[in-house]
Amino acid sequence: MTRVHDMGGRYGDGAVDPAPDEPMFHAPWHRRAMALTLAAGAIGRWNIDAMRHAREAVAPQDYARFSYYEKWLAGVADMAVGRGMVTRAELAAAGDAAIGDQAGGEAGGEAGTAPPEFGPADPRALRPADVETILRRGSPSTRPGAAPTFTPGDRVRTRLPARNLAVDGGHTRLPAYAAGHLGRVLRHHGAHVLPDSNAHFLGEAPEPLYAVAFDAAEIWGSAERAGDEVVLDLWESYLVPAEHSE
């Protein structure tokens, strides 16, 4: 019932490499992959929840072997096909052409390095002059919505198991490690778009969102130090009042 991206608490990943002097991008294609993902997203054929889910939904063996921007590319390719922007045949043909261009370039030509031709613009295509405005505006996820049931200090329990209630195998933002645990509401963030619904284009279904604190020992069985905490942002439908489950 979990997916490979839901890795909080997992054992075996080894040490973190802080790499203090790394470049912003490790390869030229990383730059293009980042910009392509943002530019394609600006068209509005999908939302950020759907894109996160597309990345999570790649096969576990692909998720594990893909680098960060390869996951982004897979998400864009799968979404572009899934949302009817391109066909599988067009995608395959574009791949073959890129391979051909590279072979031509290696033979001494300039193919494959010039900027691609921009066809008749889709009315929603992001244009250079609008980029800064769009990036500075972002996409706020607050919406008018129901008043919160819980108030700071309330004891709550997360649902068990962590799963999408409407779509089998669907997107959710309740990590498996935090499911079924007792926590305490720290703050209410207002009503926010519910990813479990929005990722599947089933509507924004806004719900109250809370920061909920969990004692590390409650979640992991033992803590590195008594009193350490983990805080997660959780939607109201992820929570039940603590007394109902005890």
Region 47-66 residues binding another protein, contact defined as CB under 8 A = 48, 52-59
Q: How many residues does this entry show for the chain?
A: 246
Spacing of C-alpha 232 from chain mean position: 15
> Does position 17 bind another protein by CB under 8 A?
yes
> Does position 244 bind another protein by CB under 8 A?
no
Binding-site member from 107, 108, 136, 243 for another protein (CB under 8 A): 136
Please name the residues in contact with 14: beta carbons below 8 A apart, sequence gap of 6 or more: none
Binding-site member from 60, 65, 228, 245 for another protein (CB under 8 A): 228
**Residue 208: is the preceding peptide bond cis (ω within 30°)?**
no
Least separation in angstroms between residue 97's CB and another protein is: 7
Binding-site member from 61, 225, 243, 246 for another protein (CB under 8 A): 225
189 in Cβ contact with 143 (< 8 Å) = no
Least separation in angstroms between residue 95's CB and another protein is: 4
Within 85-104, the residues that bind another protein by CB under 8 A are 85-86, 88, 90-92, 94-95, 97-99, 101-102
Task: Give, as one character, the DSSP assignment of residue 221.
Answer: S
220 in Cβ contact with 178 (< 8 Å) = no
